[in-house]
Amino acid sequence: MKPQSFERHAKIVPPYHYVMFPILGLNLLWAIWRVIVGPGIDSAMALLMSIALVLMGFYARVFALRVQDRVIRLEMRTRLAMLLPKDQLASIDALSPRQCVALRFASDAELPGLVAEVVRTSLQDPKAIKRMIKNWTADHSRA
């Protein structure tokens, strides 16, 4: 596997992103075309089905990412409880889910300092938080 960094950490699944979604998009366009040129029950049902398939594909990804983020937050809370000094443990509850997810790429050595900075500045932008990370820890187990 290639090393991850801020520039190369997005998870792309080619069959999902580059095959399934274009096929679903073409199917939706085809169904719309069929309703326009030959309205009827069959073409209307095909359009409804193609809309349902696009929504299903979209929400399958959204739901998987939501569960992944919850697991990451749990992992990060456990990791932070082990790594943060006692006077910084209250920072765990101060972190939003988005902040936890962004901080997961930080090495154990730099994580306490980054948590202190993120909480102190109330930085919410995940990209900005990820850019602060110097020693990137790869996460190859993402959905």
Residue with more model confidence, 9 or 126:
126
Q: Is the pLDDT of residue 124 over 70?
A: yes
Residue with more model confidence, 50 or 17:
50
50-105 residue pLDDT tens: 999 999 999 999 999 999 999 999 999 999 999 999 999 999 999 999 999 999 99
pLDDT score at 115: 95
Tokens of 11: 């998870």
* Sole residue written with tokens 């991850």: 4
- Comparing 9-23, 36-50, 105-119, which segment has the lowest mean pLDDT? 9-23
Q: Is the pLDDT of residue 6 over 70?
A: no
Q: Is the pLDDT of residue 42 over 90?
A: yes
Tokens of 40: 């009827």
pTM: 0.76
Q: Give the separation between CA 133 and CA 112, rounded to whole angstroms.
A: 12
Backbone dihedral region of 135: left (phi > 0), alpha (psi from -120 to 50 degrees) or beta? beta
pLDDT score at 135: 87
pLDDT tier at 141, thresholds 50, 70, 90: confident
Q: Are 112 and 82 in contact (CB under 8 A)?
A: no
The string of DSSP letters for 54-121 reads: HHHHHHHHHHHHHHHHHHHHHHHHHHHHHHS-GGGTTHHHHS-HHHHHHHTTB-TTTHHHHHHHHHHH
Q: What is the mean pLDDT of residues 110-126?
A: 93
